[in-house]
Structure 1
């Protein structure tokens, strides 16, 4: 499947007060092979311009270089998302409407309507990662992790899940053992970290999948490695977003360290 193309909105609906689910159609989506935690880049056009796609498609590095060569006033804003579900030639993507000033993706999602067009890169099979074969898979994240967790739970029956959301209205139907944590005004990530620290996991081998706000993911990982003695190789982790920073802001030293470690672990993740 060509990893680059256009997506057209066919439906928009609120699945919770703070989550908008957008259904897209587009060339090549009917050829998309499903796999858990399937990520793609969405390209949001700048005001007054149509979506302009990079010309290079050979690999992600050359594609990204071609993206940077688009004149700045015409260059689309790029954000990473996870495919929530797919049905033949359509995919669903969930947009969390974060509080505070709206970034380009949130602003777009708030006004999205059928007929709107975005660009995409991916999903790319080169970034497919195998699920852990451990006896227990610990999944932990915030509302931005729900789409990926939903796809993981469709494939495994040994997951113990902790999800922190704003309040009870943000829960979504998910199978399996899911512990919902409501912030109800508390600091983002605090209840999630506390719950994982206090979790009694089943006996046997264990692995973890962590995603959400970057600092919270980092705290969870430090707990699993430092307090529980887990090997780093059994922990899959991704900081989806950063408080007070966007994907356009320069990476922090912690971000660079995380990226370097993920590259070092890219040879495989077995969770054995």
Structure 2
């Protein structure tokens, strides 16, 4: 194993919990988790999930520095399914990695998986137990079927200060604006927990159903607006912000979720509200009709 800022870890499911009807929490453990680090906030990692019939994912040589090229060189029909997720929590004593999976497909509500996972995708995790819907993406299928002992691989940082998180408000920030859907909800939860006491924060979160709302502990002065998706247009979140009275002072915005919604919110903040572009961090975690596999192929062909 190299001393790179990101390294591979083999972990297994310790326990699972359904946080809301559309959110499953998977607690992972492993002998080397003491080396894993996280900046908190919106820290991202890569998960590698087994395909149908595999007990654990087929992985490239972890000693190779060019891990992505090594993964791509593997047969696409057998290599582990790679997905990007946010660390909900990295616990110590005992060492545990917590990942929240936004579920979609027939068993849950039709909506996002998480970062860059929409309906579709190739491959299917197999952890035994519950039968799962073939319409769902591979990460949703794996999360629904996950049982203690199921093994996956994680590419994660070993240094808390790393390139795997985006929430970086500059000095002088007076207040925070956050927007998200289910896919970015774990990141928003981590960001709110990281804010200093009394920091003004205005938050808009879009979910499929009111039952998918969560408690979001924070010491910040946070006001959260929950939006129910239904058949609303991608501009629904931007429209809600447009109708709101925002605090004065220097803002910093973190905008994540479905790509079209992210674009609409960013366009409103910069074009109509006059936010400095440098103070708006935005990320399309997923795109309707495209899995992470499709997006990677599109990027390679561009």
Question: Same-fold call, TM > 0.5?
Answer: yes
- Which of 271, 283, 292 aligns to 1:226? It is 271
User: Equivalent residue of 1:40, what SS?
Assistant: strand
- Check the 8 A contact 1:2/1:28 in 2, yes or no: no
Which residues of 2 match residues 1-272 of structure 1 at below 5 A?
A: 3-35=7-39, 36-49=41-54, 50-57=56-63, 59=65, 62-88=66-92, 89-99=95-105, 100=110, 101-123=135-157, 125-129=162-166, 131-133=168-170, 134-156=173-195, 157-174=199-216, 175=218, 176-183=222-229, 185-187=230-232, 189-250=234-295
Question: What is the CA distance between 1:149 and its match in structure 2?
Answer: 0.7
TM-score, normalization by structure 1: 0.85
Q: Following the alignment from structure 2 to structure 1, what is the Cα–Cα distance between the partners of residues 236 and 274?
A: 22
Question: What is the CA distance between 1:34 and its match in structure 2?
Answer: 3.2
Q: Given the superposition, is the C-alpha separation of residues 8 and 251 from structure 1 closer, same or farther in structure 2, using an over 3 Å criterion?
A: closer
Question: What is the CA distance between 1:58 and its match in structure 2?
Answer: 5.9
Q: Given the superposition, is the C-alpha separation of residues 128 and 96 from structure 1 closer, same or farther in structure 2, using an over 3 Å criterion?
A: closer
Question: What is the CA distance between 1:145 and its match in structure 2?
Answer: 1.2
Give the corresponding residue for 1:268.
Answer: none
Q: Following the alignment from structure 1 to structure 2, what is the Cα–Cα distance between the partners of residues 225 and 2?
A: 34
Question: What is the CA distance between 1:186 and its match in structure 2?
Answer: 2.4
Q: Following the alignment from structure 1 to structure 2, what is the Cα–Cα distance between the partners of residues 130 and 241?
A: 18
Q: Given the superposition, is the C-alpha separation of residues 81 and 70 from structure 1 closer, same or farther in structure 2, using an over 3 Å criterion?
A: same
- Check the 8 A contact 1:5/1:27 in 2, yes or no: no
Q: Which ranges of structure 2 fall in alignment gaps of 5 or more residues?
A: 111-134
User: Equivalent residue of 1:186, what SS?
Assistant: coil
Give the corresponding residue for 2:115.
Answer: none
Q: Deviations over 1:127-170 (max 9, x none)?
A: 34463141011000111111111111111133211101112100
Question: What is the CA distance between 1:52 and its match in structure 2?
Answer: 2.1
Structure with more helix by fraction: 1
Question: What is the CA distance between 1:83 and its match in structure 2?
Answer: 0.7
Q: Given the superposition, is the C-alpha separation of residues 251 and 17 from structure 1 closer, same or farther in structure 2, using an over 3 Å criterion?
A: same
Q: Which ranges of structure 1 fall in alignment gaps of 5 or more residues?
A: 260-272
- Check the 8 A contact 1:137/1:158 in 2, yes or no: yes
Q: Following the alignment from structure 1 to structure 2, what is the Cα–Cα distance between the partners of residues 119 and 33?
A: 15
Q: Given the superposition, is the C-alpha separation of residues 23 and 138 from structure 1 closer, same or farther in structure 2, using an over 3 Å criterion?
A: same
Question: What is the CA distance between 1:192 and its match in structure 2?
Answer: 1.6
Question: What is the CA distance between 1:27 and its match in structure 2?
Answer: 3.6
User: Equivalent residue of 2:11, what SS?
Assistant: strand
Question: What is the CA distance between 1:252 and its match in structure 2?
Answer: 9.9
Question: What is the CA distance between 1:48 and its match in structure 2?
Answer: 2.2
Question: What is the CA distance between 1:96 and its match in structure 2?
Answer: 0.9
Q: Following the alignment from structure 1 to structure 2, what is the Cα–Cα distance between the partners of residues 229 and 252?
A: 35
TM-score, normalization by structure 2: 0.77
CA RMSD of aligned residues (A): 2.3
Q: Given the superposition, is the C-alpha separation of residues 154 and 44 from structure 1 closer, same or farther in structure 2, using an over 3 Å criterion?
A: same
